Chains A and B, each alone.
Chain A
Amino acid sequence: MSVTAPIPELRTEQKPPLYRDVRVLRWVGQLIVLGVVLGFLYYLYSNVITNLESKGLPTGFAFLDGKFGSAIPGIDDAADLTNGGAFIAGFMNTVRVILFGIPACTLLGILIGIARLSDNLAVRSFGTLYVEAFRNIPALVWIFLAYFAISLSVLPRIDDAPTGGGFVISNRGIGIPWLNPDASRMTFGLMLLAGFGVVWLVLRWRRSVNEKTGEHSRGGLYGTLAYLLWIVVAHFVSGEALLLEGSEVGANARNIVGGMTVQVPYFALTLALTLYTASHVAEVVRGAILAIHKGQSEAASAIALTTFQRYRFIILPQAFRIMIPPLANQYLNITKNSSLAVAVSYVEIAAIFSREANNAAPAVQAVIVLMGLYLVFSLSISFVANFFNRRLSLETR
């Protein structure tokens, strides 16, 4: 005879008291911590207001309308700018660094990254040497080397600067030929941008032809031709912008006139940042290529593709997909590292800030503007990267 124990009731109607209920406790705990955090922030805020008022500094952002009163190389009447206007000028100078830096470091980084995986021992060693040298030395040290040790000591003085063909190379700046000043440069630039739209239309047309008739679309050829044609159109519309104006040494042998002058700090900064970031990009590229299954490479060799074809059509398209997030990270880094320009007196956002802070601008608000401007960069780069990441990500179920 078996004795069956009564089955205990699993759920009781009785709820635990509030102070023992995990769900309630979690929310109460969070509320308390959040309250402490917010209270601390409010405490900091009230400190700032009290301190600013006791020092007689304004508490709002009115300082942005105040006069900047300091020179910016490359801008003629910088001293008359408002503080806000100076920040925008600095912003444009930062844009100049990354407009050159991002494409250049990508290209160089891909080359070095591939070199590190080469079959040839000499090429491989060169890649390793490059990466280990550039990656392990701080960006700022490279900027100092490029500015003080190379640019300022190697470039000739302006008195005996080599000139010719519209180029001037001196330690006051590097003059290069630039667009015709009589033409509308603005129109030309805008039309160059619009050209991408034209190329897109052409490519769409070629694709539709390909889909209808099966004829090879030849997108690269048609796209390039269309863009070149568009440049010619832009040239005439803007008033002959491509009749380049050369630079030459000015009459008093003190400055460079005509064309465009690349400031030496800009040159040194961009060079150093490009080389430094390229070493990181190379590691990203190498990692991405190594992550591609070896079978892909072997299959490419099996159908007798050349090394170039193997990379161009098989490896890099797949590696690119893996690369995007870390590559975007490197682009963010080069943008943020451009703030190191303040050390070689290239006047971008951070340099504008430090001048304003030394010129009695309220530091707290100025820091907020400074950070806000960099957040603009960060968010836009993240946005673009996310866009491509979504477009290129594998459709998996």
Chain B
Amino acid sequence: MSQLPPSVQYPEEPVVPDEQAAPKQGATSALAQELREGLFKDAKNTIVTLLFAGIFVYIGTRAYTFIFDNMKLTGDGSLANSWLVIDQNLTAFMVGSEFGRTGIGFPMLWAAIYLTAMTLGFATGPEKGEEVDPMPGRTRASIIGPALLGAVVLMTLTDTFTPKLLMALIPLAFFVGFKGVGLLPEKVMVHKTKILVVLAVLIFLLETGFEPSNVDSFGGLMLTINAAFISIVLCFPIGIVFALLRRSTFGLLRPVAVVYIELIRGVPLISLLFMGEFALGFFLPPDSNPLPSVIRSIFMITLFSAAYVAEIVRGGLQSVPTGQMEAGQAMGLSPLTISRRIILPQALRNSIPALVGQFIALLKDTTLLIIIGQRELLGISAPLLQNAQFRNQGYAPEVYAFVAFMFWIMTFSMSRASQRLETKLGVGTR
């Protein structure tokens, strides 16, 4: 729902050319000088620094107590580590409480997870002969760091050995995909997009145990990721079509696109989800089978997100100079070819930062599923807190902090990875 305005990109911190200004005195003293400049330049600065240091210390100690030194009563009156509530319900947080009923089983799910990791590696790895420009260590740390932190936390919380081992194998799968891309011949890599689509469908089928209607029993993190990912994939082409229509000279069809985009952007997502939950059935032909609730929600999220994607792509289209289209016309290309081969590739590259922002927003928006009774990562928390062992003992802070942490890891890594992509593609510099 919260769309990042396209004008706001996240520039890297301004790089101060220290080496040129100050004579090199070794790394330590340069750092010391930077710290002195940044923290204790003058009296006023020092006071402000001390004030904020106080705030940091306060937050830090509170966080430390909350995380490492936190005991609470359980339902049977004994005192226990309050993170027990996460520990004991970790499976529910990951796959929801209905997963057992689907009959998919964990081996299939782990296979899907490994395939996902491998696909991600495949998508991001360098192709044969592709030049790899070195990534600054800080950027790499900010992409990998949160994921690593999340893995460590999850590993600490699992009490048996098997899931720890299985989880440790995920980076291996990623690595196989990442390095494997370079080994594939060019003849295969031409079809990279098609391969990715096939892999994505295969992952979805594995997750649902080759029974797509199983998606209705998903919960926890699995539902969050599935709902977000499917909506992202589906809303993208719809958004592009509406963007092209809105920019086109089709006098009759442009108003259709304008009305759709403005109408959807003017209402909150929750009203669309309500529509999917309460009213969508009325739009279907009489006596048709009602669709599963999750499918209806994904459908509505897709319609919602498509309008935002359309506006972002429209911004990208506007940034392509008219000369590009005229050059295409001069070469006698058809309007469709001009759009597909000349305009869209440039427009999409320009809209990548805003698009990733929108996809992050979409991932965050999946929390709204709780309002129509879905048990996604946030929605699973309420029934867990009603568990006899934890009811009315004040476990809400731990549970919601855990949920917040999981979301933070996903969105933070995504936003950092998008910054990286931005520099790699040279947005705004070419």
Residues of chain A having any CB pair with chain B under 8 Å: 26-27, 30-31, 33-34, 37, 44, 47-48, 50-52, 54, 119-126, 132-133, 135-142, 144-145, 148-150, 152-153, 277, 280, 283-284, 286-288, 290-291, 322, 325-326, 329-330, 333, 336-337, 339-340, 342-343, 350, 353-354, 357, 363-364, 366-367, 370-371, 374-375, 378-379
28 A-B residue pairings within 8 Å (CB atoms): A27-B252, A33-B252, A34-B253, A47-B282, A51-B284, A121-B35, A122-B39, A122-B49, A133-B408, A136-B360, A136-B407, A136-B415, A137-B407, A140-B378, A284-B5, A284-B8, A286-B8, A326-B5, A333-B1, A336-B267, A336-B269, A339-B271, A340-B270, A350-B274, A354-B371, A374-B266, A374-B268, A375-B266
Supplied contacts A125-B56, A126-B56, A374-B271, 11 more A-B pairs, CB within 8 Å: A120-B45, A124-B38, A136-B412, A141-B403, A145-B404, A148-B400, A288-B7, A336-B267, A339-B270, A354-B371, A370-B271
Residues on A with beta carbons closer than 8 Å to the beta carbon of B10? 283
Question: How far is the CB of B89 from the nearest CB of chain A, in Å?
Answer: 16
Assess the B2–A322 pair: CB atoms within 8 A. no
Q: Which of B1-21 contact A (CB under 8 A)?
A: 1-5, 7-11
**CB-defined contacts of A122 to chain B, threshold 8 Å:** 38-39, 48-49, 52-53, 56
Contact of A337 among B1, B38, B55, B263 (CB under 8 A): B1
Contacts of B412 in A (CB 8 A): 132, 136
In the bound complex, CA of A149 to CA of B66 (Å)? 13
Whether, in the assembled complex, B198 has its beta carbon less than 8 Å from a beta carbon of chain A, the answer is: no
Complex Cα distance, B400 from A339, in Å, reads: 20
Whose C-beta in chain A lies nearest to the C-beta of B59? A129
Report whether A121 and B38 are in contact in the complex, using a CB–CB cutoff of 8 Å.
yes
Instruction: Give bound CA distance, A37 to B4, whole Å.
Output: 31
Given A126-B52, A363-B278, A371-B271, residue A145 in contact with residue B266 (CB < 8 A):
no
Cβ–Cβ < 8 Å partners of B368 in chain A:
140, 340
Query: What residues of chain B lie closer than 8 Å to A149, measured between beta carbons?
Result: 396-397, 400-401
B192 CB–A CB distance under 8 Å: no
Q: Kindly report which residue of chain B lies nearest to residue A127, judged by CB atoms.
A: B52
Partner of A137, one of B45, B251, B285, B408: B408
User: Which of A141, A354, A379 is the one whose CB lies under 8 Å from B404?
Assistant: A141
Residue B247 at the chain A interface, CB threshold 8 Å? no
- What residues on A are CB-neighbors of B270 within 8 Å? 339-340, 342, 350
Of the residues B253, B364, B370, contact of A33 by C-beta under 8 Å: B253
In Å, the complex CA distance between A283 and B2 comes to 13
Known: A137-B404, A149-B401, A326-B5. A364 touches B370 (CB 8 A): no
Asked if B48 contacts A378 (CB within 8 A), the reply is no
Q: Within the assembled complex, what's the spacing in Å between the Cα atoms of A176 and B240? A: 51
Quote the shortest CB–CB distance from B318 to chain A (angstroms): 14
- On whether the beta carbons of A153 and B404 are closer than 8 Å, the reply is no
Check A141 against B48 for contact (C-beta < 8 Å).
Answer: no
- Residues of B near A133 (CB, < 8 A) are 408
Q: How far is the CA of A26 from the CA of B252 in the complex (A)?
A: 10
Partner of A350, one of B48, B268, B283, B411: B268
User: How many angstroms from the CA of A152 to the CA of B2 in the assembled complex?
Assistant: 27
Shortest CB distance A125–B (Å): 8
Q: Are A141 and B266 in contact (CB under 8 A)?
A: no
Find chain B residues with CB under 8 A from A33 CB: 252-253
Confirm or deny: B394 has a beta carbon within 8 angstroms of a beta carbon on chain A. yes
From A54, A286, A329, A339, name the one whose CB has the most chain B CB atoms within 10 angstroms: A339
Q: In the bound complex, do residue A367 and residue B48 qualify as a contact, i.e. CB atoms below 8 Å apart?
A: no
Separation in Å of the B361 CB from the closest CB of chain A? 9
Is B62 an interface position by the 8 A CB rule?
no
Known contacts A30-B251, A367-B271, A370-B274: does B7 contact A322 (CB below 8 Å)? yes
> Is B341 interfacial (CB-CB < 8 Å)?
no
Tell me which residues across on chain B come within 8 A of A374, comparing CB atoms: 266-268, 271
Q: Does B349 contact A (CB under 8 A)?
A: no
Report whether A326 and B396 are in contact in the complex, using a CB–CB cutoff of 8 Å. no
Find the residue from A33, A119, A284, A343 having the highest chain B CB count within 10 A: A343
Interface SS majority for chain B:
helix
Q: Is B216 an interface residue (CB 8 A)?
A: no
Q: Which 9 A-B pairs have the closest CB atoms?
A: A326-B5, A121-B38, A336-B268, A378-B266, A363-B278, A287-B8, A138-B364, A122-B52, A149-B397
Structural contact, B52 and A123, CB atoms closer than 8 A: yes
| Interface contact B407-A119, CB-CB below 8 Å | no
On whether the beta carbons of A141 and B397 are closer than 8 Å, the reply is: no
Are the CB atoms of B7 and A30 closer together than 8 Å?
A: no
Query: Interface centre among B45, B263, B381, by most A CB within 10 Å?
Result: B45
B348 at the A interface (CB under 8 A): no
CA A363 to CA B283, docked complex, whole Å: 11
Contacts of A47 in B (CB 8 A): 282-286
Asked if B68 is at the interface of the complex by the 8 Å CB criterion, the answer is no
Q: Which residues of B contact A329 (CB under 8 A)?
A: 3, 5
Which residues of B from 387 to 410 have beta carbons under 8 Å from A? 394, 396-397, 400-401, 403-404, 407-408
Give A339 to B368 CA distance when docked, in angstroms.
10
Complex: A119 Cα to B16 Cα, angstroms: 12
Residues of B within 8 A of A367 (CB): 271, 274-275, 278-279
Residue B128 is within 8 A (CB to CB) of chain A in the complex: no
Q: Given that A120-B48, A122-B56, A123-B48 are known contacts, is A138 also in contact with B407, CB under 8 Å in the complex?
A: yes
A51→B282 contact, CB < 8 A = yes
Q: Which residues of B contact A140 (CB under 8 A)?
A: 367-368, 370, 378
CB <8 Å contact, A153 and B396: yes
Contact flags B260-300 to A (C-beta < 8 A → 1, else 0)? 00010111111100110011011111100000000000000
A48 touches B1 (CB 8 A): no
* Structural contact, A141 and B282, CB atoms closer than 8 A: no
Bound Cα distance A121, B397 (Å):
31
CB neighbours of B281 from chain A (8 A): 51
State how many angstroms separate the Cβ of B231 from the closest Cβ of chain A: 15
Residue in B53, B253, B365, B381 with the greatest tally of chain A CB atoms within 10 Å = B253
Distance between A138 CB and nearest chain B CB, rounded to angstroms: 4
* B residues near A330, Cβ cutoff 8 Å: 2, 5
Are the CB atoms of B7 and A326 closer together than 8 Å?
Answer: yes
A residues in contact with B11, CB < 8 Å = 290
Interfacial chain B residues near A379, Cβ < 8 Å? 266
Kindly state the separation between the CA atoms of A306 and B364 in the bound complex, as whole angstroms: 41
Known: A119-B41, A122-B39, A284-B5. A145 touches B267 (CB 8 A): no
Q: How far is the CB of B280 from chain A (nearest CB, A)?
A: 9
CB proximity of B175 to chain A, nearest CB, Å: 26
A144 to B404 Cα, complex, angstroms: 10
- Judge if B233 is at the interface, Cβ distance under 8 Å: no
Question: Shortest beta-carbon distance, A370 to chain B, in Å?
Answer: 5
Q: B111 within 8 Å of A by Cβ?
A: no
Q: Measured between alpha carbons, how far is A30 from B53 in the docked complex, in Å?
A: 64
Q: Which residues of B contact A152 (CB under 8 A)?
A: 396
